[in-house]
Structure 1
Amino acid sequence: MNNPTRTTNRLHFEDFPWQRFEELVFEIVYRKYKWGELSPIGQKGKDGGVDIWGVDTEETTWYIQCKNHQSFTKADAQAAIDKIVGNYEIAKSCMLLIALACNITTDTLQFIKSYSEERGFNGSDVWVGTKLETMLYSDYKDLLYKFFGIETEHNRNIKKVVNGNKVRQEVEKILLQKVNWTPEIRMEIARDPSKQFRFEKVVIRSVDDVDDSYGENASYCEICPYQLTDVGIEFLDLYWDNYRIAIDIDTKCWRRIKDDDNLQENEFDIRAEHVALLPYYCIISIMEKGDDYSDYPVLICGFEFNNTPFLRYYYKHKASKVDLVEGKPLSISDLSMLIDEIEKEYVDDISNT
């Protein structure tokens, strides 16, 4: 069986009025090269066959013609080039660029290159419809949304970052305590970040259950906020904590074990919390005063990950702040931090006895 492939829809440049097509080409040209001067003179009316004129930073003059046609022949190319040459003085350093909404034959392409040189241009380039599509999908994804309303993964990621930043500000305003950040308080919160929250719990509800928020088929949970990260809010498991984790000091691999399990050779054990990470961009609304069923704040979220709002789950050793991710060995630095914290705990225990 062949592997499935992802395809992209053909862009319909022919649906654009000529002005819009020129605007698109101008945006691409402006980004693709470095300019000392660049002007969309075709928008102003009589252009002498040139829609965009510019001088790049290497002092090469560019004459750019935009043709939003369904076909473009040798005769069309000759007429376009003759019109430019008839209205402008073409120096040896000048470049010609023709941007087309359609595709053309190899013969027409070769004709444009040879005829433009014959008429005095130092060189030429031709952007056919397929090349424009490739440039947009590969290098200028934001223009796909601006000109065609096509939202790519790149565009969605931009929205996630922008929306996530806004939500984080709202989260900090509603959920965090307003404190006087003395050195003592900073140290206390560094040891236990959950103390910076105003509430020991929050309720998470699905945006898809707004009409039946706590019904039999509704998705919701009570959960304890632990700390804010750059990506989202870390929550601790409300009903289970202090999982026992065995770590192999040689391989740096780890496994979750039961309290009465024996350690293997080269293993030591730690206690860790189970953590769920809720990305900011999944939070749609925050009901600070709760709802009809809960006095805790309610976070209305998009359940985007296997019917949950949580991007990932992992274990956290709170004292060292080391995260243990399923299937991922510890780094040397993480292992060192864990061992340092265990040694500190041991020394503290000895001191207190």
Structure 2
Amino acid sequence: MTRPTRTINKLHFEDLSAGRFEDLSLALVYRLRRWQDIHHDGRTGADDGVDIRAIEAASDNSLRVWFVQCKRYGTFTAADAKAAVRAAVGKTAVPPDVMLLIVGCDVTLATRTAYEQAAADAGIQMAILWTASKLEAMLYADHPDLLFSYFGVSLVRQERKREDDLRRTLAMKRKMARVFPHDYKPKVVIHSIDDEHYPEVDVAGNGRISSWFRVEFAGHYHAGIEVYLNIEHIIVDRIDGAWAEVGFGANGLDIDIQPEEAFANTRYDVVKVFTIGRIPFKNIFEIDEDGDEYYREPHLYCRFVDHGTPYELVLRREVDGYKEFHPDGRFPFENRDSRNSEQPAEDDSAVP
């Protein structure tokens, strides 16, 4: 079962006002060097094409003049870059030593090249370009205070949440080890935390599983617990190890035919396997160890957040061995006679 990747939303610099974007740029530039002097001319509106002017006190005691242009654009082209250089040097007799162009979007290589060439043609010794991705990396890596001030993103809160999640995971791991000691394999009732049907039967529809059901506890793994879902037969290709569930009916075997007989003289071995669902600790909200008048056995209340199930992974394991068959190696049973073992196995692992 493929797990979705958790991401942090992209920062939207275009949502800042032009003035606020310049303020953010000034804050970043101010921390960049040891400045002899720095002016935010863009705030007054009479900047003569230069939003920030600064004089750097270099390590050799020389002074370098910086011109900074801030462009909060949704897109920024090569023509825009050339225009920014012309505006910066158009009203000065001596070009700056360094020009820094800060834009609120990402740019193409052609735009970057055009900017650097235009700056060189204008006599500027060094041309620097900060794009949206560069700004975002700087804010997350080096300036979390500015990240919070301008975008309300608190890395402190995220760090505390990670710490709280870790504490909760370890506490749940200890609880599971106590409730399910080694070689103890009771029946377990799994509930969705959104279940409203128990103890009545939940007739699942629309491709979802029931909001509560009984399974047998199978054991522990590093990130959670395992439960037995069923026992079934699979066929395993001797050439590449790909496997498929043995299907019956349309595009499958006749119900009266035993799989061992059907594949006796083929490239496939028939293996009897447990279907095992792995429930990570993070998906287990709470456990009722004593159960109730209907089922006096442990009840687990879980978040059904992985494809509408509590399982981060559903795999197959040999009944009489330890070999596991991962979903990535699965192929449709109806392709058993036509599949090419040189091609990668099809992954339809979203279906247990």
TM class by smaller structure: 0.5 to 0.7
Residues 225 and 279 of structure 2 are in contact (CA less than 8 Å); yes or no, is this contact kept in structure 1? Answer: yes
Cα distance in 1 between the residues matched to 2:211 and 2:198:
8
Identity of aligned residues (%): 13
- Amino acid aligned to 1:75: D
Q: Which moved more, 1:197-206 or 1:296-305?
A: 197-206
Equivalent residues in 2 for 1:147-166 (5 A)?
A: 148=151, 165-166=166-167
- Amino acid aligned to 1:214: P
Cα distance in 2 between the residues matched to 1:285 and 1:249:
43
Cα distance in 1 between the residues matched to 2:165 and 2:33:
39
Say if 1:236 and 1:150 are closer, same or farther in 2 by CA, change over 3 A: farther
Equivalent residues in 2 for 1:123-142 (5 A)?
A: 123-131=98-106, 133-135=132-134
Give 2:199's match in structure 1, choosing from 211, 214, 218: 214
Three-state SS of the structure 1 residue aligned to 2:266 is coil
Give 1:223's match in structure 2, choosing from 210, 215, 227: 215
Q: How far is 1:203 from its partner?
A: 2.1
- TM-score, with length taken from structure 1: 0.55
Cα distance in 2 between the residues matched to 1:227 and 1:63:
67
Say if 1:15 and 1:114 are closer, same or farther in 2 by CA, change over 3 A: closer
- Amino acid aligned to 1:234: E
- Amino acid aligned to 1:54: R
Three-state SS of the structure 1 residue aligned to 2:17 is helix
Cα distance in 1 between the residues matched to 2:41 and 2:188:
58
Residues 205 and 219 of structure 1 are in contact (CA less than 8 Å); yes or no, is this contact kept in structure 2? Answer: yes
Cα distance in 1 between the residues matched to 2:31 and 2:313:
49
Residues 301 and 309 of structure 1 are in contact (CA less than 8 Å); yes or no, is this contact kept in structure 2? Answer: yes
Cα distance in 2 between the residues matched to 1:95 and 1:229:
61
Match of 1:256 in 2: 245
Match of 2:50 in 1: 77
Q: How far is 1:174 from its partner?
A: 1.3
Three-state SS of the structure 2 residue aligned to 1:202 is strand
Q: Deviations over 1:22-42 (max 9, x none)?
A: 4x886xx6xxxxxxxxxxxxx
Cα distance in 1 between the residues matched to 2:318 and 2:298:
27
Cα distance in 1 between the residues matched to 2:138 and 2:320:
44
Three-state SS of the structure 2 residue aligned to 1:196 is coil
Q: Which of 1 and 2 has higher RCO (CA within 8 Å, sep 6+)? A: 2
Match of 1:204 in 2: 190
Cα distance in 1 between the residues matched to 2:91 and 2:292:
72
Cα distance in 2 between the residues matched to 1:316 and 1:159:
38
- Amino acid aligned to 2:50: A
Q: Deviations over 1:129-169 (max 9, x none)?
A: 22554446678679798553579xxx99x999767644431
Residues 161 and 281 of structure 1 are in contact (CA less than 8 Å); yes or no, is this contact kept in structure 2? Answer: no
Q: Which moved more, 1:271-280 or 1:120-129?
A: 120-129
Residues 64 and 96 of structure 1 are in contact (CA less than 8 Å); yes or no, is this contact kept in structure 2? Answer: no
Residues 101 and 128 of structure 1 are in contact (CA less than 8 Å); yes or no, is this contact kept in structure 2? Answer: yes
Residues 25 and 66 of structure 1 are in contact (CA less than 8 Å); yes or no, is this contact kept in structure 2? Answer: yes
Match of 1:315 in 2: 316
RMSD across aligned C-alpha pairs, in angstroms?
A: 5.0
Residues 176 and 197 of structure 1 are in contact (CA less than 8 Å); yes or no, is this contact kept in structure 2? Answer: no
Q: Deviations over 1:187-216 (max 9, x none)?
A: xxxxxxx8627662332211222x554345
Q: Which runs of 5+ in 1 are unaligned?
A: 1-5, 30-49, 56-60, 179-193, 331-353
- Amino acid aligned to 1:220: W
Q: How far is 1:315 from its partner?
A: 0.5
Q: Deviations over 1:52-107 (max 9, x none)?
A: 2436xxxxx798877996x97751517x32xx34xx65766747474747348546
Cα distance in 2 between the residues matched to 1:268 and 1:323:
15
Match of 1:244 in 2: 233
Say if 1:63 and 1:206 are closer, same or farther in 2 by CA, change over 3 A: farther
Residues 231 and 279 of structure 1 are in contact (CA less than 8 Å); yes or no, is this contact kept in structure 2? Answer: yes
Equivalent residues in 2 for 1:234-313 (5 A)?
A: 234-237=226-229, 240-241=230-231, 243-257=232-246, 258=258, 261-263=261-263, 264-290=265-291, 293-313=294-314
- Amino acid aligned to 2:48: A
Three-state SS of the structure 2 residue aligned to 1:172 is helix
Cα distance in 2 between the residues matched to 1:52 and 1:280:
43
Equivalent residues in 2 for 1:26-41 (5 A)?
A: none
Say if 1:273 and 1:12 are closer, same or farther in 2 by CA, change over 3 A: same
Structure with higher helix content = 1
Say if 1:247 and 1:68 are closer, same or farther in 2 by CA, change over 3 A: farther
Cα distance in 2 between the residues matched to 1:253 and 1:130:
45
